[in-house]
Amino acid sequence: MLYVAQFRYSADNLAYLVYGRESAAAIDGGAVDEIALFLEKQHLRLRYVVNTHHHYDHTSGNDSLLSRYQARFVSCRDLSLQGRLVLENETIRIYPTPGHTDDSLCFHVDNILITGDTLFNGTIGNCFSGRIDLFYQSIKKIMTLPKETVIYAGHDYIRDSIFFARQLEPDNADLNRFLADYDPDHVYSTLADEFRINPYLRFNDAKMVDILQNEGLATGTEWQRWESLMSL
């Protein structure tokens, strides 16, 4: 069985350690000292250093971790081709999710999805790749997962996300309920939460369609609704 530990670093970045009984993989491991302490306390060997995408705030810990430990770095490109990472005979599934960047990935560990900057808790990442069509397909892929899937994102943007969602939908009581349960020491949502609070996963929701129409935006097809949401 594999477990996931979350570590905060910088202002709002979130790093992850996927681990078993003896070994671990660091994902976006910018919290170098905290990860090192965890490895020591749990008597774990760091086996892999990997990233959700190439942006420096997610790769900043790579060199330090690789210099401290005899770990193997696996690039986003290679991970995308492999489609999986094996740790202690357990499979971490890897999904290419281009949109935020061309090389964006999600890591699926049991019922946990580590989404990097593709999907945040309550919003999505910027489309730096310029390919909102690919971003659309990536989000739709995530939406097919079980609703109990836990979303571990690359940043803690929850307060800002809920603020924006309230501007669109001030009468959505789910936003207040979600924010009331927010814990900055353990930042997560479920996919079921996202279907209630995240505008960018609700392009087929009747309330969201009404909001887009009131803004004078196109809503005729699912793709048009996605484009309209991305323009807000």
pLDDT in tens, 20-56: 999 999 999 999 999 999 999 999 999 999 999 999 9
* Residue 6's pLDDT band (cuts 50, 70, 90): very high
Q: Range(s) for CATH 3.60.15.10 in the chain?
A: 3-200
* DSSP 8-state symbol, 186: S
Please say whether the dihedral angle defined by the alpha carbons of residues 111, 115, 116 and 117, taken in this order, is positive or negative. Answer: negative
Radius of gyration of the chain measured on its C-alpha atoms = 18
Average pLDDT of the chain to the nearest whole number:
97
pLDDT at 65: 98
What's the CATH number of domain 3-200, 1.10.357.10, 3.60.15.10, 3.40.50.620, 3.40.50.920? 3.60.15.10
Question: What is the average pLDDT across 67-74?
Answer: 97
CA nearest to 35, candidates 74, 62, 56:
62
Could you tell me how far CA 173 lies from the centroid of its own chain? Answer: 24
CB 124 within 8 A of CB 200: yes
Question: Which ranges in the chain belong to alpha helices (H)?
Answer: 32-42, 56-59, 62-68, 76-82, 132-143, 158-168, 173-180, 191-197, 206-214, 222-231
> Residues 83-136: pLDDT tens digits?
999 999 999 999 999 999 999 999 999 999 999 999 999 999 999 999 999 999
